[in-house]
Amino acid sequence: MIEVNELSKSYGEVVAVEGVSFAVGKGTILGFLGPNGAGKTTTMRMLTCYLPPSGGQATVAGFDVVEESMEVRKRIGYLPETPPLYLDMTVRAYLRFVARIKGVTGPQLNGRIDDTMEKTGIAHHQNTVISHLSKGYKQRVGLAQALVHSPDVLILDEPTVGLDPKQIIEIREVIKGLAGDHTVILSTHILPEVSMTCEKIVIINGGRIAGEGTPESLIAQLKEGEVLRASIGGPGQEVLSMIRAMDGVIDVAVESGGEEDGVFIITSTPGTDVRDSLARQIVDGGYALRELRGLDMTLEDIFLRLTTEEVKA
Amino acid sequence: MGNFLAVYSKEMRSYFVSPVAYVIAGVFLFLSGYLFRSILMQFNMICLQLGQRAQQMGGGMPALNLNEMVVTQFFAVMDFIWLLIVPMLTMRLYAEEKKTGTIELLMTSPISSVQVLLGKFFACFSLYAIIVSLTMVYFLILEAYGSPDWGPIFSGYLGYLFLGATFISVGILASALTENQIVAVLLSFGILLMFWLIDWSASFAGPTAAKILQYVSFIEHLEDFQRGVIDSRDVVFYLSFTFFCLFLTTRVIESRRWRR
């Protein structure tokens, strides 16, 4: 549905986005993850035909964003970082205006507006002037604006910013409900949001893509090894050197503990499971095994690793 | 067409739900009403004085022309008030969209920038035409007590429509250049005043330059209308000026798309 090929954008000397490529299939939700200033908004603005790319190409539904911008614009709904609201209009009048300039006409118009207001939970505020709404409701009106013409592709720039936790959950449910019929790209710097709503993730940092894939594949790709957490009763130094000497163990770190008890974080080569042999050795050595479990790498770890240091080749 | 109407009605609504239209119409009508009254009182006094003199010295009352002494006078001062008012009508048209980010909605919707521009232009022009036509009441009052020649009045108003279109196009261009409404107002004042006073320097310029300077002056072309002359040269001047400014505006707005 969306194909991005070596897309770049520079503002004078400043390079905002450089050589970004990715593809999104129909009906998927793609999470666009990156720290502030990474180039998320710039990339989205190029996809929505607001900014021309300095280099590379992007197509939406098979139409080029530069050459066939009108066709692209018919097919996208876009929620910018600050919702583009006319504050002196009522919610209904505003959605009516947006629907009309998006090409919804005649008998469908009122039906579309009602549906969208229902979906985003703003129907009971339809005659309120937008400037009187709270930030959360303004954000919803912004989302409604992007949805009102039922576009194939939705591009949402930080859709949950400024909402309270309950509203965030509601908006996420709305977005999840859109998958299947709509292709969605949403940007965020909130990690749980991505793991909860998105099927695919693109991590962007410093204008370049730092990682791409499903949450699981990203974890597998970046795992340096299997990680175990073990709580062992026994003289700390002895236990440490025993574990170090084991086959397959790359690294051992002491999380807490001292002379008698210790909690150790053990990293072993990928694909090996040292749990059985570790347990045997501990028992053989006369120590007490209190806890032993595998640690999963979280999205947080991946994000930090990808955005704070150079990716290891 | 649908897109044009959507933008047009949105802009009209925005003028009338905010105090803008009412305040501007109110201030303008108050000022122009005050001026009209003053001009009328002055004419009244002159009539009285001449009548007294005719009585004392004998002889007839000189023929006083109502059009020359009231209508033309009134038009001459009203021109200048428009120069002050129109930039206030146009200042927010693009500047506000840029400031609040709604321009992003317009630019990413399947609507051409010409449709947006025409919607905004005609909304502003309609409001202008409504306020201008309200001043016709003054001439109805004149009709009740005297017998003005309606020909030059109508052609004068026609001239105002052309002048208004030109002013609005300049104001819209200024508004498209900035996201600050104060800057937009000052910029349009500057441009309008420049073209208002430009024929002044014609008196010191060489013969060719003087002709050019006179031609581009807003006032020169308006005087014909107010004398009752509808000259196609004047119409062409105002229309081409308007088109040129509107064309520049579309270029300014579109420039975002080709500035790589």
DSSP string, B199-230: GGGGGGS-HHHHHHHHHH-HHHHHHHHHHT--
User: What is the average pLDDT value for chain A, to the nearest integer?
Assistant: 84
Segment A133-183, tens digit of pLDDT? 988 889 889 999 999 998 999 999 988 877 788 888 888 888 888 877 889
A254 three-class SS: strand
- Rounded CA separation B240/B232 (Å): 12
Query: Which of A7-11, A98-102, B116-120 bottoms out in mean pLDDT, i.e. has the lowest?
Result: A7-11
- The edge-to-edge listing of strands for the beta sheet with A2-11 is A14-24, A2-11, A55-60, A63-64
| Residue B259: predicted pLDDT | 65
**Do the chains contact at A78 and B108, CB–CB below 8 Å?**
yes
Average pLDDT over residues B2-20: 90
User: What share of residues in chain A are helix, strand, coil (percent, to 5)?
Assistant: 35, 30, 30
B18 — contact with chain A (CB < 8 Å)? yes
* ipTM, two decimals: 0.86
A82 — contact with chain B (CB < 8 Å)? yes
Residue A311 banded pLDDT, cuts 50, 70, 90: very low
Segment A44-78, tens digit of pLDDT? 999 998 988 888 889 998 899 888 889 999 999 99
Q: How large a percentage of chain A has pLDDT more than 70?
A: 91
Residue B171 banded pLDDT, cuts 50, 70, 90: very high
User: What is the average pLDDT value for chain B, to the nearest integer?
Assistant: 88
| Residue A309: predicted pLDDT | 53
Q: Give the Cβ contact number of residue A221 at 10 Å.
A: 11
A14 — contact with chain B (CB < 8 Å)? no
Contacts of A93 in chain B (CB under 8 A): 13
| Residue A222: predicted pLDDT | 65
Contacts of B102 in chain A (CB under 8 A): 84-86
Average pLDDT over residues B111-129: 94
Chain A residue nearest residue B14, CA to CA: A88
Average pLDDT over residues B150-160: 90
Quote the minimal CA–CA distance from B180 to chain A in Å.
Answer: 17
Average pLDDT over residues A226-244: 81
What is the DSSP annotation of A189-227?
Answer: S-HHHHHHH-SEEEEEETTEEEEEE-HHHHHHHH--SEE
Average pLDDT over residues A198-208: 85
Q: In the block, which residue shows the tokens 């990680």?
A: A227
Higher pLDDT, B248 or A176: B248
pLDDT of A219 > 80? The answer is no
Please state the φ and ψ torsions of residue B184, each to the nearest 5 degrees. Answer: -60, -45
Length of chain A: 313
Q: Of A2, A172, A25, A155, which is closest to residue A77 (Cα–Cα)?
A: A155
Beta strands in chain A (DSSP E): 2-11, 14-24, 29-33, 55-60, 63-64, 76-79, 153-157, 183-188, 200-205, 208-213, 226-233, 249-257, 261-268, 288-295
Q: In the block, which residue shows the tokens 């720039």?
A: A157
**Do the chains contact at B110 and A52, CB–CB below 8 Å?**
no
Query: Which of A113-122, A291-300, B38-47 bottoms out in mean pLDDT, i.e. has the lowest?
Result: A291-300
Average pLDDT over residues B206-214: 83
| Residue A313: predicted pLDDT | 37
Q: Of B161, B182, B135, B181, which is closest to residue B36 (Cα–Cα)?
A: B135
- Rounded CA separation B136/B236 (Å): 25
Size of interface A-B (CB pairs under 8 A): 74
pLDDT of A238 > 70? The answer is yes
Instruction: Please tell me what DSSP assigns to residue A249.
Output: E
**B110, B256, B257 member nearest A74 (Cβ):** B110
Residue B181 banded pLDDT, cuts 50, 70, 90: very high
Query: Which of A212-226, B136-150, B173-187 bottoms out in mean pLDDT, i.e. has the lowest?
Result: A212-226
Domains of chain A, with CATH numbers?
2-220 (3.40.50.300), 224-294 (3.30.70.1340)
pLDDT of A312 > 50? The answer is no
A89 — contact with chain B (CB < 8 Å)? yes
**Do the chains contact at A100 and B101, CB–CB below 8 Å?**
no
Handedness of CA A29, A31, A37, A40 (dihedral sign): negative
A76 — contact with chain B (CB < 8 Å)? yes
**Do the chains contact at A86 and B260, CB–CB below 8 Å?**
no
| Residue B260: predicted pLDDT | 56
The CA distances from residue B47 to B34, B44, B51, B63, B147, in Å, are 20, 5, 6, 10, 15
Quote the minimal CA–CA distance from B14 to chain A in Å.
Answer: 7
Q: Are A153 and A183 in contact (CB under 8 A)?
A: yes
